[in-house]
Structure 1
Amino acid sequence: MTTAIEIKGLSKRFGAVDVLKNINLTLDKGGFLVLVGPSGCGKSTLLNTIAGLESVSAGEILIDGQPVNGLHPSKRDIAMVFQSYALYPNMSVAENIAFGMEMRKVPKEERDNAVASVARTLQIEHLLDRRPSQLSGGQRQRVAMGRALVRQPRVFLFDEPLSNLDAKLRIDMRVEIKRLHQQTGTTTVYVTHDQIEAMTLATRIAVLKDGEVQQVGSPGEIYNTPANLFVADFMGSPSMNLLKGRVAKNGSGAAISFAADGAPPVTLAAPTGADIGLLKDGDAIILGVRPEAVGDLQSIDRNAKTVASVDAPVEIVEPAGSDTFVVTRIAGQEITARMRADTDLKPGQVAHFAFNMDKAVLFDPASGNRIG
């Protein structure tokens, strides 16, 4: 694959504050990179440096192999979609979409054909004569996307485009954006603080915290093998269960032991993929396991190589339509399990919880990094 965007050693300072620190990223042509992280992590600033709306303090940005650091935004052949839509209120939808082409003196017939084509793609043909004030939030966002799409840029940049929409509309628009990317194949960089958006849209995800990239990978890699405790906790809803324990070596094997004052100790088999050779007996450890890897024996993957189980009291039951989330406590530590929708567990009941240890990972509590 041809590399469309390459970011090398990029840093950005505002005064004495380092907002971005030595960012290194690549995105293949036609890829969909999502920059995700909490508010203030630097993801929008990074997007703005790609767009040329912010200068860089150090490092280099290349688009299709061409350095663009000193290039004006209008010369970078990118199109940006903002959270605020930024539509002209006195223009119709068709005029809003065509405005950029009109400024570049594209002939009217070519403009009209391009607007019609984009309107078909976004299913807004019936809205072309309306003003922005007559549109819903989702319709306005489609128009903003149409204005970017009609330019046929090398790169699309999206800056939290769905954060002003209600929950159902966000889901609908996620589908539209994914469909648009599949149809056009345009290289896309997308900023969000919503990790569900990141997981559903991306071909690659970059997780940021305090101006630094914590991990880059496919949605599956980020979710199943988080590089550190921050990524494990931030990505996923509900987030990964993180349990503090100690290594219990037993000959060539190992287990993880959990103990708490006033609570009976619990021992679980070590995760299937853990490198036991890196661990010493008694080492402090953090076990990470996703809620869907905790359930009853019937719901656990029958192909799992290692399954551990424990009896524990049910504290909270949360029906969620397709699933039921059950909160329990093991050795004084809270755990969320994702059960079948028809589970009949009740608070106060002691239940049998099974752990798919093939899906579990270990973290070093000192560094926060994943082990193995």
Structure 2
Amino acid sequence: MGSLSIKGLTARYGKTVALHGIDLELADGEFFVILGPSGAGKTTTLKSVAGLVDQVEGEVRIADRDMTGVEPYDRGVAMAFESYALYPQKTVEENLASPLRSGRNGTWTPQQQTERIKQVTTTLGIDHLLKRFPRELSNGQRQRTALGRVLVRPAEVYLLDEPLSHLDAKLRAAMRAELKQLGELSGTTTLYVTHDYQEALALGDRIGVLREGRLVQVGTPAEVWTQPVDTFVARALGQPEMNLLDAEVEAGRARVGKAFTAGVPASDGRVAVGIRPRDLEIVEGPAPADRLVLHGKVVLAERLGRSIELSVDVAGVQVITVTSDHRVHEGGDVALAVDWDRVHVFSADGTRLGAARRPEDAALAGGTR
């Protein structure tokens, strides 16, 4: 095991700058997830740590050892690629044994190799596939084999490049649970990249959100979910995406059309009020005084198995919410309630200003916070 320290990491492909001075510190045994869309620089970050990018500036330290000028095979990292990268002419067992036979990872006797491979394949559920070739495996089995080849190798840091992206939804969910267990069992520092926010939230001890080669926010899953630094991060997590509603501010009160008014940490100008669909709850009876309540009509109800995604017209403003209440129907009236501290306020440039509050509280405070 070993810590991973990245300081001022800048990577280029010709004249194109892929990473802009990234700083990151991973503790010993930490499972860190980088989340970002295609082209954000996620794979480049992994390759830079592994020493596979030529035009790199900045410092990478693994287990407190400076990696400047160190060849990839001497860095103590093991990397799983999105494309599996298995040897087609070798069986599953031979693919898994290849890192142990190279001589660069210490000397392993045949018995030690067999024991190590058995331990990993049993955990991954592929111990019955050892004599098969990659062409005889399903995508899920190939993915497990590729992960197994990483896990059998003793390493300071595991680098995992979207290892679940080619799997179907059901298998991806199962593999997320297995990866979480493997991370806890191995205790090896892991840098994992993905475009899937569910993977990031489920797996990461911490998450770093990457946009156009820059780290926008780093924090625990709870911190990134509840306190996104801007609208990009807010919309990167959650499906459906966060509702972002334009509002005009006067004297600390934001008016969202004719839908509702909220106290906000701004005196005047324009802001965006953000509410996650899953934070909105359908309520019946008297409206709770301590919550924001929106009254509207269901325009569209998409039934997605156990949950229903609703598009609700609130005085001309469209709001998306998710419910499991199958009594709701298109054309019906609903009341949606949300806690004030879950109503986010963003400035005109997308920066988070804080949480909203009751408009009467804003009046008592004189429009300031």
1:121-270 paired onto structure 2 within 5 Å: 121-249=123-251, 254-259=252-257, 265-270=258-263
Asked whether 1:315 is paired with 2:299, we answer yes
Asked whether 1:332 is paired with 2:316, we answer yes
Structure 2 CA distance for aligned equivalents of residues 346 and 92 of structure 1: 54
Note the alpha carbon deviations across 1:117-167, whole angstroms, 9 max, x for none. Answer: 222222222111222222211111111111111112111111111111112
Q: Which amino acid aligns with 2:343?
A: A
Q: 2:331 aligns with which of 330, 341, 348?
A: 348
**Is the Cα–Cα contact under 8 Å of residues 284 and 335 in structure 2 kept in the other structure?**
no
Distance 1:295 1:86, change over 3 A: same
Match of 2:19 in 1: 20
Distance 1:92 1:342, change over 3 A: same
**Is the Cα–Cα contact under 8 Å of residues 324 and 338 in structure 1 kept in the other structure?**
yes
Structure 1 CA distance for aligned equivalents of residues 25 and 55 of structure 2: 17
5+ unaligned residues in a row in structure 1: which ranges? 260-264
**Is the Cα–Cα contact under 8 Å of residues 197 and 236 in structure 2 kept in the other structure?**
yes
**Is the Cα–Cα contact under 8 Å of residues 272 and 347 in structure 2 kept in the other structure?**
yes
Q: Which amino acid aligns with 1:329?
A: D
The CA deviation at 1:323 is: 2.5
**Is the Cα–Cα contact under 8 Å of residues 56 and 69 in structure 1 kept in the other structure?**
no
Match of 2:358 in 1: none
Match of 1:371 in 2: 353
Q: Which SS does the other structure have where 2:238 is aligned?
A: coil
Asked whether 1:283 is paired with 2:269, we answer yes
**Larger deviation: 133-142 or 45-54?**
133-142
Structure 2 CA distance for aligned equivalents of residues 317 and 72 of structure 1: 56
Structure 2 CA distance for aligned equivalents of residues 248 and 309 of structure 1: 21
Structure 2 CA distance for aligned equivalents of residues 34 and 328 of structure 1: 34
Structure 2 CA distance for aligned equivalents of residues 331 and 69 of structure 1: 60
**Is the Cα–Cα contact under 8 Å of residues 296 and 313 in structure 2 kept in the other structure?**
yes
The CA deviation at 1:343 is: 3.5
Q: Which SS does the other structure have where 1:230 is aligned?
A: helix
Structure 2 CA distance for aligned equivalents of residues 29 and 319 of structure 1: 44
For these two proteins, the number of residue pairs brought into alignment is: 350
Match of 1:9 in 2: 8
Distance 1:114 1:3, change over 3 A: closer
The CA deviation at 1:348 is: 2.1
5+ unaligned residues in a row in structure 2: which ranges? 355-369
Note the alpha carbon deviations across 1:163-212, whole angstroms, 9 max, x for none. Answer: 11112111111112111111111111111111111111111111111111
Q: Which amino acid aligns with 1:284?
A: R
**Is the Cα–Cα contact under 8 Å of residues 285 and 362 in structure 1 kept in the other structure?**
yes
Structure 1 CA distance for aligned equivalents of residues 201 and 269 of structure 2: 33
Q: Which amino acid aligns with 2:111?
A: E
1:100-115 paired onto structure 2 within 5 Å: 100-104=99-103, 106-115=108-117
Structure 1 CA distance for aligned equivalents of residues 66 and 55 of structure 2: 12
Structure 2 CA distance for aligned equivalents of residues 311 and 43 of structure 1: 42
Q: Which amino acid aligns with 1:57?
A: V
Match of 1:292 in 2: 278
Q: Which amino acid aligns with 1:142?
A: R
Q: Percent identity?
A: 38
Distance 1:89 1:351, change over 3 A: same
Structure 1 CA distance for aligned equivalents of residues 205 and 127 of structure 2: 30
Q: Which SS does the other structure have where 1:336 is aligned?
A: strand
The CA deviation at 1:39 is: 0.7
Q: Which amino acid aligns with 1:370?
A: R
Structure 1 CA distance for aligned equivalents of residues 289 and 118 of structure 2: 55
Q: Which amino acid aligns with 2:138?
A: S
The CA deviation at 1:87 is: 1.3
- Point out 4+ residue stretches in structure 1 off by more than 4 angstroms: none
Normalised to the residue count of structure 2, the TM-score between the two structures is 0.89
Distance 1:322 1:14, change over 3 A: same
The CA deviation at 1:298 is: 5.6
Note the alpha carbon deviations across 1:261-298, whole angstroms, 9 max, x for none. Answer: xxxx132333xxx6x4xx21x32111111112212226
Name the Cα RMSD after superposition. Answer: 2.1
Structure 2 CA distance for aligned equivalents of residues 46 and 333 of structure 1: 41
Structure 2 CA distance for aligned equivalents of residues 177 and 158 of structure 1: 11
**Is the Cα–Cα contact under 8 Å of residues 36 and 208 in structure 1 kept in the other structure?**
yes
Normalised to the residue count of structure 1, the TM-score between the two structures is 0.89
Q: Which SS does the other structure have where 1:85 is aligned?
A: coil
Match of 1:360 in 2: 343
Match of 1:262 in 2: none
